[in-house]
Structure 1
Amino acid sequence: MNQNVKAPAPDIFVFLEVFSSEGGIQSYVKDILKAYVSISAGTAEVFLLRDSPECQNPFASTLPTIAPKLKFHYLKTLPPSLGRLRLAITLLRCLLQQRPRRVFCGHIKLAPLVELLCRPLGIPYTVLTYGKEVWEPLPANYQKALRQADSIWTISRYSRERACAANNLDRQAFQILPCAVDGDVFTPGEKDPAFVEKYGLAGTGVFMTVARLWSGDIYKGVDVTIRALPHLLQKYPEVKYLIVGRGDDQPRLAQLAQDLGVADRVVFAGFVRAEDLPAHYRLADAYIMPSQEGFGIVYLEAMACGVPVVAGEADGSAEPLLDGKLGWRVPHRDPEAVAGACMEILKGEDSRCEGVWLRQQVLEHFSTATFTFRLKQLLDL
């Protein structure tokens, strides 16, 4: 072997946090890393501003064949400002020493730093955007970092249009990489009797939402679905609404159900472990979230389990629902429209209720294999 052959320059990923919290962004990032290591012959340095070495990192702990391709830098420090300084110093040293092919900036909050360090060195960078973090006018230095980027990735047409309108960005700079669903994890199946008993769902039609119940996230539409129940119960008195998630908005939602006289029809499941989530989807006769999403990976998860879905009509859910081909899209603050869609699902006469077909369509368009292929195209590998 020729010892003088220089190893190829690595890629660099810079994220806020990936393993110390759960959410749509974290799930999306993990999918990107998994796909990256499956298609790239090189290595990557991964900088994690808010993660610590003690976090549960499946790439390092359970995927040893992947770990050598990814070198993780854990930079969580108190106070947080010190962590940002550590990130700047460590990242600059890596840029100078290794001269990477490109840098992937995993959050808009990190974009000004990445732009500041990469541009003088002539290193191209890509900014990954997800949803509402770029839907409002950003500070001037954030906008500059986006305009100077070699490319901007986002998850849907809707997110691209919102970001462009708010920040006067060029649509041509964007490339779309939709979310993915793991069809080996989210599968159809019988309702788990233990969960049916736990939540008192025997003999009922079940509607379900998986969402953070934060007061800042009322756009998820959980309150709208609760308001839809009185309309729905007039015709289908045995239905229940299962809400998976936790947060500071739960007391308000519980009071709303009480005030509307439907408290006995609403079940707050609270936090559910990731490994139990597929079994919870299988409890549902329909997944309801009349939201304003950048994309909405939960719709993919539900449909991969063969569950029909109801989403908002003017958001990024157009992508997972294939512009309404796979599910119902309704005005996101309209309880009567939500109730109407739920009634259609309970009738079961629409092709969008056919679980086998739903799953086949979702995996055709949004499987991890499709996601990997799209990423490979973006990376030009």
Structure 2
Amino acid sequence: MSKRLKKRDSVHFWVPNLFEFKGGIQVYLCDILSTISYLQFQRNFLSNTDIVIIDKLDSDKPEVVSKANEFTGNFSFTFMGNVPRVLRTFAFSLKIIIASFRQRPDLILCGHLNFTPVAYLLHLLLGTPYWILVYGVDAWDIKHPLRRRALQAAKKVISISDYTRSRLVKEENLHPDKISLLPVTFNIERFQVKPKPTYLLNRHKLQENQPVVLTVARLADDEQYKGYDQVIQAMCLVRQKMPDVHYVLVGKGSDRPRVEQLIESLGLEDCVTLAGFVPDEEICDYYNLCDVFIMPSKGEGFGIVYLEALACGKPTIGGNQDGAIDALCRGELGILVDPDNVDEIASTLAEILQGKSTHPIIYQPKILRQRVDEIYGFNKFQSNLLRLLKETSFATP
């Protein structure tokens, strides 16, 4: 069917998952769908476009379908999570190929680099243009030859951080103009500047004036790059200057037994608290419990936790070797440290906790909150995505 006679446009959006697991990628993808929904109904943009979401890992459980139905727009969802795991990748690939041949989408959005070989194949066979969303380690030092070729053939690559963008330009020789930025966003209304919550002080046996350091991260075997080991080691040095300092590490995962052994080997049982899983309704209170938020990672694509801490007005420290550079605006919103340098981590923590930092806004909660909203709030995300979507050949505001 010719483009001229076609009644409706369509975008196929291939995603790893959206609802049954909530990590950074899943939240980001849902934010994209929420924005498209808003643009269709509030701005009459893409109102003649069907958004076909094909989800590899989520199943069609009633609670999942209910969450999908919360997106008001020209959306349709297909969930492949009911397929046995051993067959799921094949079934998912077959599904997206058949759907593309039947519906001939005007654009394919690849929600993960792993899907790009199929998009590249469809581009060769049907001429279908595709965009690729890239996050962090998924797009660093790519070895898979088909994924590298798919990157070169993509109509557009969308990166959540300038750090990942720069690495793709350098490592894959992509032209900078081919890679657009769409930084992550967050719901600032969930995070407020408040006093330290009494119930958490009581729960963890802390004093109101006791200096508290916080990290929020999954304790997974494959996410040790988040730097909590280095913070634990730094506590040995910080407590020499501030004996009552306390480190609270929020998060659960398979790495916890090893972390517990590290704490014990350093004799820090009275200095470090592993808070485990924290429900969403308490996470803001944990940010407000601390005096400094730190995650000196070296493999983070961006790091929403930095934005959440800043929205609570907290001095924030990140690593200088990954997407934290973007989240903290190259040091405008916080302090960047060498994630492998325990001495530097310790001295930076002590300096901030002792009120000696010379950073211009780190002790100004209202300004930190205002700036992070201006740069990464949902209104900014919507305008950034709208700008990108206007570049499609079929989009008409």
TM-score norm. by structure 1 comes to 0.92
Aligned pair 1:53/2:53, yes or no?
no
Q: Distance in 2 between matches of 1:141 and 1:261?
A: 49
Paired-residue identity, %: 34
Q: Distance in 1 between matches of 2:141 and 2:172?
A: 7
Instruction: Read off the aligned partner of 2:164 and give its amino acid letter.
Output: S
Aligned pair 1:22/2:29, yes or no?
no
Contact 2:191 2:312 in 1 (8 A): yes
Alignment match, 2:253: 247
- Cα deviation for residue 56 of structure 1 reads 4.1
Aligned pair 1:177/2:182, yes or no?
yes
Report Cα offsets for 1:53-99 as digits up to 9, x if no partner: 11744xx5368563442211001244335333333333233323332
Q: Which moved more, 1:186-195 or 1:295-304?
A: 186-195
Alignment match, 1:135: 140
Of 350, 361, 380, which residue of structure 1 is paired with 2:371? Answer: 361
- Residue 279 to residue 375, structure 1, CA distance change in 2 (3 Å): same
Alignment match, 1:156: 161
- Residue 157 to residue 52, structure 1, CA distance change in 2 (3 Å): same
Q: Distance in 2 between matches of 1:68 and 1:38?
A: 8
Alignment match, 2:310: 303
Q: Which moved more, 1:97-106 or 1:143-152?
A: 97-106
Contact 1:213 1:246 in 2 (8 A): yes
Report Cα offsets for 1:127-150 as digits up to 9, x if no partner: 111110111232111111111111
Alignment match, 1:31: 31
- Residue 81 to residue 111, structure 1, CA distance change in 2 (3 Å): farther
Aligned pair 1:209/2:215, yes or no?
yes
Alignment match, 1:327: 334
Report Cα offsets for 1:171-191 as digits up to 9, x if no partner: 332111111121111222232
Contact 2:12 2:53 in 1 (8 A): yes
In the alignment of these two chains, the number of paired residues is: 375
- Residue 69 to residue 191, structure 1, CA distance change in 2 (3 Å): farther
- Cα deviation for residue 194 of structure 1 reads 1.8
Q: Distance in 2 between matches of 1:55 and 1:333?
A: 45
Alignment match, 1:189: 194
Alignment match, 1:82: 87
Q: Distance in 2 between matches of 1:311 and 1:90?
A: 41
- Residue 285 to residue 63, structure 1, CA distance change in 2 (3 Å): same
| Equivalent residue runs for 1:72-151 within 5 Å | 72-151=77-156
Alignment match, 1:225: 231
Query: What SS does structure 2 have at the residue aligned with 1:152?
Result: strand
RMSD: 2.0
Alignment match, 2:387: 377
Instruction: Read off the aligned partner of 1:317 and give its amino acid letter.
Output: A
The runs of 4+ residues in structure 1 deviating greater than 6 Å are none
Q: Which moved more, 1:231-240 or 1:89-98?
A: 89-98
Q: Distance in 2 between matches of 1:251 and 1:91?
A: 41
- Any unmatched runs of 5+ in structure 1? none
Query: What SS does structure 2 have at the residue aligned with 1:264?
Result: coil
Q: Distance in 2 between matches of 1:174 and 1:49?
A: 25
Instruction: Read off the aligned partner of 2:177 and give its amino acid letter.
Output: Q
Alignment match, 1:317: 324
- Residue 300 to residue 55, structure 1, CA distance change in 2 (3 Å): farther
- Residue 136 to residue 171, structure 1, CA distance change in 2 (3 Å): same
